[in-house]
């Protein structure tokens, strides 16, 4: 079995756990695409909040342990809401990411953008 398949199985297993967690609490009634997208955005903002006043060049590994743990929990919240969103909408996140990567490869050819941060409309 290859690594991608293993990762995909782990993602599927986690998605099933998230869906079961929601079902056990009868939260499906609240999990509309709009509500989940809103929650996902809020959790992403909470992740960003941990970095709000940093200079930007501090290595993650050098942050205090409690801060790294809090950041990991925010990453988990983002992932959980994203997986739930995908379950509710029927989006396959692996397939969507692979398709988007292929589109981005066309927009950002290596020979034109290597080492640059310009948007594809700027070159």
Confidence of residue 4 (pLDDT cuts 50, 70, 90): low
Mean pLDDT calculated for residue range 16-31: 98
Residue 60 has pLDDT above 60, yes or no: yes
Mean pLDDT calculated for residue range 80-95: 98
pTM: predicted TM-score of the whole model, two decimal places: 0.87
Confidence of residue 41 (pLDDT cuts 50, 70, 90): very high
Residues 6+ apart with CB under 8 A from 40: 78, 81, 82, 85
Tell me, what's the pLDDT at 123?
81
Residue 121 has pLDDT above 90, yes or no: no
CA distances from 43 to 49, 68, 112 (A): 10, 16, 34
Q: For residues 95 and 44, what is the distance between their CA atoms, to the nearest angstrom? A: 22
Tell me, what's the pLDDT at 2?
52
Tell me, what's the pLDDT at 83?
98
Residue 54 has pLDDT above 70, yes or no: yes
Q: For residues 50 and 56, what is the distance between their CA atoms, to the nearest angstrom? A: 11
């Amino acid at each position: 079995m290859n690594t991608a398949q293993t990762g995909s199985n782990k993602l599927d297993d986690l998605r099933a756990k998230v869906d079961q967690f929601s079902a056990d609490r009868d939260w499906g009634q609240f999990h509309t695409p709009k509500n989940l997208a809103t929650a996902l955005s809020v959790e992403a903002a909470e992740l960003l909040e941990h970095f709000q006043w940093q200079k930007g060049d501090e290595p993650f590994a050098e942050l205090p342990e409690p801060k790294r743990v809090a950041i990991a929990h925010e990453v988990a919240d983002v992932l959980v809401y994203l997986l739930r969103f995908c379950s509710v909408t029927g989006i396959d996140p692996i397939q969507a990411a692979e398709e988007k990567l292929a589109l981005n490869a066309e927009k950002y050819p290596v020979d034109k953008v290597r080492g640059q941060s310009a948007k594809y409309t700027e070159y």
